Amino acid sequence: MSEIKLTDSDIEELRAAFFTQAEEILDNLPSYIMAVEGNPDESNWKALKRAFHTLKGDSKAMGFNGLSTFAHKIEDLIADIKDNEPDSASIDLFLECADAFKISLDKIAVGEDPDISDIVSKIESYAAGHKYMPYKHETPMVNKTIGRSLPFLKIEPERVDMIMNLVGELVIGRSMLSQITSEVDNLNRESIALRLENLNSSFERTLSDLQRSVMKVRMLPVDLVFRHFPRVVRDLSAEKGKVVRFQIEGEHTELDKGIVDVIGEPLLHIIRNAIDHGIETPEERRASGKTEEGLICVRAFHHGNQMVIEVEDDGRGIDTDKLKEKAIQRGIVSTDDGKKMSAKEAMNLISLSGFSTAESITEVSGRGVGMDIVKDAVESLRGIIDITSEKGRGTRLTLRLPLTLAIIKSILFRYKDETFALPLSSVTEIIRVLPEDLETIAGNPVFRHKKGITPLISIDGAGVNNRKSFIILIGVAQMRAGLITEKIIGEEELVIKALDRRASTGLATGASILGNGKVVLILDPLFLIKRAQETKDSRCQGVKSEVIN
């Protein structure tokens, strides 16, 4: 029998396959270990043993004998502990073994020799009956480790992005074909128009199917982010002397890979804040009539064309009076403005850079960074964050994100001979009005309708003219505003093209190309609403007008 010789290319492919599978197993290991802690039944032990057995065999096959020996010792440890009930110390040791294996794997990947003598001695010492001292676990930035491997066909992101760009060009081509079809039809060239219409319909069906297929390729389960959080909650709650139950809902909900890659770190900040600031100590919870165990729930679900992620805790809530007091002390707002500030406005203070209510600086919080990072990251994804809280009852942070960053449904409208677009998901209603339908409160144009009074704004900040116009009512979370415009063109699916940073003013989140070849700006609804609010605040000068959302 002839000997099989592997080429350098074959060996490189095997290495890549090994590291990919090993990383996938290591990403799931903390959840296997904590499943044993929560319920040490046979199925959970089997999952844990299977993981290390696979790592042992694969490492041996690749010639990484040190890793293989390490995995074998962990298998022996599992067998010893399984015969007894696992305690907190044994779970801590398993978690340290998983971390040490990950560090060793990373070193081998860059050509270094890992030193596993320290962790092996801890395993042997624990097996001999000595007390295990937990080590300090550094929380990883989860967005750097997610989405690297799945038990499906693996495709490089660059290839998917290239296909997505081609689909984008086809979408633009479809718009152009539709435009030409309508123009030919207006010339009464019936035969040509009919053929073009048939071609356009066929083209549209095929392109829509292709677009949906490519979008599905880019979609990943949000569990790739969520799976890292139970370990964070376990370690941090133990460090803070708190008892926290962590609950995940909707982990199989899918989201665009571009968003999955970014959203991990903001969610990590939110969860760390919930443990550090939100959940009380067992003594505090007993004194306030609560159970000793606090609850943090992370849930994900689709709502229309948006992905919603909520992080909710049943802790002490946010004291808006304390927020205002700190803001006044630090000169962020004046004493008079602080007294006039509503609870909702005070809640927004926690998103300011450098603002913190913590009495002391710890490794977790107190430096005034965290929530501003969350806000910036969410807004960079064209999303919004909303905070609701009740003192003594808990806090809920809601992140609303687009399902994809590539293509959106939009409303096209014309203002002063220029065409603009707004994301359809932010448009709540379009109303045709006459000048006499509009009112002014404290110098601000407003529109009174069945849902209350809404502040109005135009793109260029100009006043209302004396002609008929349209008001596009836009809403983001609980905020509302009306955009004055002259003509509504209709709905259209647009391919988003990024703007050069030097050309961006914040008014637009991107641009697109219409069927007639013209470039259209895609406006940012949140920017418009904030501008309307700022205009109202600057003109009111102490005159308070009630705006009902």
Which pLDDT tens digit goes with each residue over 190-241? 666 676 777 777 777 777 777 777 777 778 888 888 988 998 899 899 889 9
Band of residue 310 on the pLDDT scale cut at 50, 70, 90? very high
Residue 156's pLDDT is 66
Percent of the chain with pLDDT over 70: 83
Better-scored residue on pLDDT, 151 or 416 = 416
Give the residue ranges of DSSP H helices in 62-189: 65-82, 88-109, 117-127, 157-186
Are 271 and 223 in contact by the 8 Å Cβ rule? The answer is: no
* Count of alpha carbons within 13 angstroms of residue 155, beta-carbon side: 15
434, with CB counted inside 10 A (0-12, 13-18, 19+), is: exposed
Q: Is the pLDDT of residue 274 over 70?
A: yes
Residue 4's pLDDT is 55
Which token pair is 359?
């009495």
Which token pair is 244?
């926290």
125, with CB counted inside 10 A (0-12, 13-18, 19+), is: middle
Return d(Cα 388, Cα 445) in angstroms, integer.
29
Return d(Cα 122, Cα 127) in angstroms, integer.
8
Residue 541's pLDDT is 42
Residue 186's pLDDT is 65
Give the number of other CB atoms < 10 A from CB of residue 471. Answer: 22
Q: Which of 29, 128, 27, 37 is nearest to 76 (CA)?
A: 128
What is the DSSP-derived secondary structure letter of residue 143? G
Dihedral of CA atoms 20, 21, 24, 25 in degrees, nearest 10, equals -150
Band of residue 315 on the pLDDT scale cut at 50, 70, 90? very high
Band of residue 145 on the pLDDT scale cut at 50, 70, 90? very low
What is the DSSP-derived secondary structure letter of residue 142? G
pTM over 0.75: no
Are 70 and 116 in contact by the 8 Å Cβ rule? The answer is: yes
* DSSP per position, 280-342: PPHHHHHHTT--SEEEEEEEEEEETTEEEEEEEE-SS---HHHHHHHHHHTTSS-HHHHHH--
Are 475 and 466 in contact by the 8 Å Cβ rule? The answer is: no
Are 62 and 28 in contact by the 8 Å Cβ rule? The answer is: no
Q: Is the pLDDT of residue 124 over 90?
A: no
3-state secondary structure of 447: strand
Return d(Cα 71, Cα 251) in angstroms, integer.
30
Return d(Cα 529, Cα 515) in angstroms, integer.
29
Band of residue 514 on the pLDDT scale cut at 50, 70, 90? confident
Contacting residues for 153 by C-beta, under 8 A, at least 6 apart: none
Residue type for 499, please?
A: L
The pLDDT tens digits for 394-432 are 999 999 888 777 778 889 999 888 899 998 888 888 998
